[in-house]
Amino acid sequence: MKAAVLGGTRGMGRALARRMVERGDWVTVLGRDGEELSRSVADLSARATPGTQVHSAVCDLEKTAQFGPALEAADHAMGGLDVVVVTAAVFATQDKLEDDAALTQKLLTVDFANTIVFCEEARKKLLGKGKGTLCVFSSVAGDRGRKPVVLYGAAKAGLSHYLEGLDHKFRQQGLKTVCVKPGFVRTGMTDGLKAPPFAGEPDEVAAVVLQAIDEGTPVVYVPPIWRLVMTAIKALPRFAMRRVGF
């Protein structure tokens, strides 16, 4: 499998890229920081099975002009492209977003509009080759409007809706869309936040996501317990949601 991973320099993206190269998949890591990309290539190359290729290309989700060239660079470097993974995103707490309009605009733009623009570039690239898999990390935050994640959840709700529509329209044409919905995972994004009892680890998440990519699973919750958690939360009536703090 030949995969481009946007956000593969850290967190869940890094864990997923590591699992890929360890089993022999070729990977091009996409990220905005050249030094981080170099370190990631070195790390992945050291873990890779013999003959596995690891490459990198600059791609910043805030700079849409980089999207097409980055995917083309990955395609050219590996001699093909089977999978595009998007784990990169912006996160901030609800309190910070309410106090900072510029940060709110950045988060909504990057996590919703620009992510979709990148996915559209990936869709065209993969379908141009006849088939492929687009795996995008959304969030359980998008499953229900909730007090702690009003703005972040709105962006992820829109992204999840887009990915579902994409899957409905293009799966028969050869594009498998995998929407990953992480709950709380211990990464740099969640540093400083109180972890629930069922918080996940990046490597555990990566194992589940890699299986979903292989099988073309349309929606996957990670850790899996979050499917049950969100089923319960979605079943709560609106008056109850106004009273609780989650």
Task: Spell out the CATH class of 2-243.
Answer: alpha beta
Structure confidence at residue 168 (pLDDT): 98
Measured in whole angstroms, how far is the alpha carbon of residue 238 from the centre of its chain? 29
d(CA 180, CA 138): 6
The alpha carbon dihedral of 77, 116, 143, 140 has a sign of positive
What average pLDDT does range 194-207 have in this prediction? Answer: 79
Helix or strand run (H / E) with residue 234: helix 225-235
Tens of pLDDT, residues 151-191: 999 999 999 999 999 999 999 999 999 999 998 776 666 66
Tens of pLDDT, residues 141-155: 999 999 999 999 999
How many Å from the N-terminal Cα to the C-terminal Cα in the chain? Answer: 39
Helix or strand run (H / E) with residue 220: strand 219-222
Measured in whole angstroms, how far is the alpha carbon of residue 209 from the centre of its chain? 10
Structure confidence at residue 245 (pLDDT): 80
Domain ranges of the chain: 2-243
Backbone angles phi, psi at 219, to 5 degrees: -135, 130
